[in-house]
Structure formats: structure tokens, C-alpha cells
Amino acid sequence: DAKTTQPNSMESNEEEPVHLPCNHSTISGTDYIHWYRQLPSQGPEYVIHGLTSNVNNRMASLAIAEDRKSSTLILHRATLRDAAVYYCILRPDWAGNMLTFGGGTRLMVKP
Amino acid sequence: DTGVSQDPRHKITKRGQNVTFRCDPISEHNRLYWYRQTLGQGPEFLTYFQNEAQLEKSRLLSDRFSAERPKGSFSTLEIQRTEQGDSAMYLCAGKTYNEQFFGPGTRLTVL
């Protein structure tokens, strides 16, 4: 399985934008890039996903590099509720769609 | 609220006892996944069902573990002869299209 590399932790100030990076240099053409987050004491929560083009939804934006070897999750205005572990996951289109989680990035938001 | 419920939320048992967990996805979730998460790690895939058929099992799923999804609705995960290494959060997720919707998890502590 293609792997992802994320920083262990990041800090942000409340109401400022946050850019969470993810490297996936061995990504294959059929791998979708998914982002999930896990708030304390909860199950993971879907954030966004994409294949080649940048994507926006009500929670976040996903910027995908042209060569697809990296991506960035953008939270436009961090709130205290966004403090969580963020997982960048490559999901092959054929693999039963199970998710292979790495260590993720722990985002801390300061008031 | 994802609509996926798990019961119990917490279970403390003695080594060697059997335990059973239940997951109730919403009716539209034709696929159901089980994951295990230990402290400080991302969730690890255990097994998944397409309706009532169990289609894939991880090597993590030893012969002490068994999962069922009768009638393609709720699912159960049983662990026989529990060991201290089984202590973890057990998460289930339902899926329709691209997103997996996780339940809150069952935290198992084996003494």
C-alpha cells in the first residue's frame, strides 16, 4: 500500500487558517486522497477527499499537487473544536475501500 | 452524530473471558467495517462486510476473533479467551458511497 507522511503535530491560533501537509510520493493513479479527523474520545470523522482536482466543502479545502505526490488540507478559520488528529489516507479504488490509517497530525488550536 | 451506534461503550473483562460487541449502522450502509485502535495509534482495519457477506479479514484478526453480520444489518464482533493485548478501542464504520461513518467505539480493557 502507498504510504503517507504527515507531521506529528501542529499548532494554530484560533480564527487563523491552517494548512496541514501530507506527502504521498508513491501514490498510484487509482488512489484517492482522503482526510479524516478524530476528535478526542470519538470515532474518526470524514473531512474531504479528492483524486486530482482541488476540492472544497463546508468543512475544508483540499489542495492536490499537480504530480499528486503531496496534498494539503486547509481549514480556513480554525476553531477550538477543530483540535483533533487529522489523518491523510490513500484509498485504492479497488481495495474493498478499507482505510489504512497512519499516525496522523495532532492539531492544537490556541485561543 | 453519524447514526452508527456501538454497544457497549466500555467493557472491562478478565483475561480468558469472552466478550461480544455490537454495531448498528444505518440501513443505507451496505458495507460495514471493523477497526481496532490502540492508544496513540491510528485505527487498524480488521474486517469488512458487504451486506451479510464477510469479504476480507486482516491478518490482525486471529482465530480468537469472529465477526458476523446476519441479514446485513447489525454486526457483532466476538473475542474469545481475551488477552491483555486485546485491550483497545474497537470501532465500526458504515459506508454507502465515498465516506465511512464511524461509531463512537467500544473501549475494551482486559485485566
Per-residue pLDDT of chain B (111 residues; tens, 9 = 90+): 778 999 999 999 999 999 999 999 988 888 999 999 999 899 999 999 999 999 989 988 899 999 999 988 899 999 999 999 999 999 999 987 778 999 999 999 999
Of the candidates A43, A97, A98, the beta carbon closest to that of B91 is on A43
The Cβ of residue B40 has, within 10 Å, a number of other Cβ atoms equal to 8
Q: Does residue A40 belong to the interface with chain B, where contact is any CB pair within 8 Å?
A: no
Residue A2 has pLDDT above 70, yes or no: no
Helix locations, A24-77, DSSP H: none
B8 upstream amide cis, omega within 30 of 0: yes
Q: Does A99 sit within 8 Å of B45, measured CB to CB?
A: yes
Residues 2-31 of chain A whose Cβ lies under 8 A from any Cβ of chain B: none
Q: Does A99 sit within 8 Å of B100, measured CB to CB?
A: yes
Of the candidates B33, B41, B42, the beta carbon closest to that of A98 is on B33
Query: Number of CB pairs < 8 Å for A and B?
Result: 53
The predicted pLDDT at position B2 comes to 78
Q: Are B56 and B48 in contact (CB under 8 A)?
A: yes
The predicted pLDDT at position A23 comes to 96
The Cβ of residue B19 has, within 10 Å, a number of other Cβ atoms equal to 18
Angstrom distance (rounded) from CA B14 to CA A1: 36
Query: Using a CB-CB distance cutoff of 8 angstroms, which residues of chain A are in contact with residue B30?
Result: none
Q: Which residues contact A96 (CB under 8 A, 6 or more apart)?
A: B48, B55, B56
CA-closest candidate to residue A77, choices A61, A55, A63, A89 = A61
All three cell numbers of A80, joined, read: 477550538
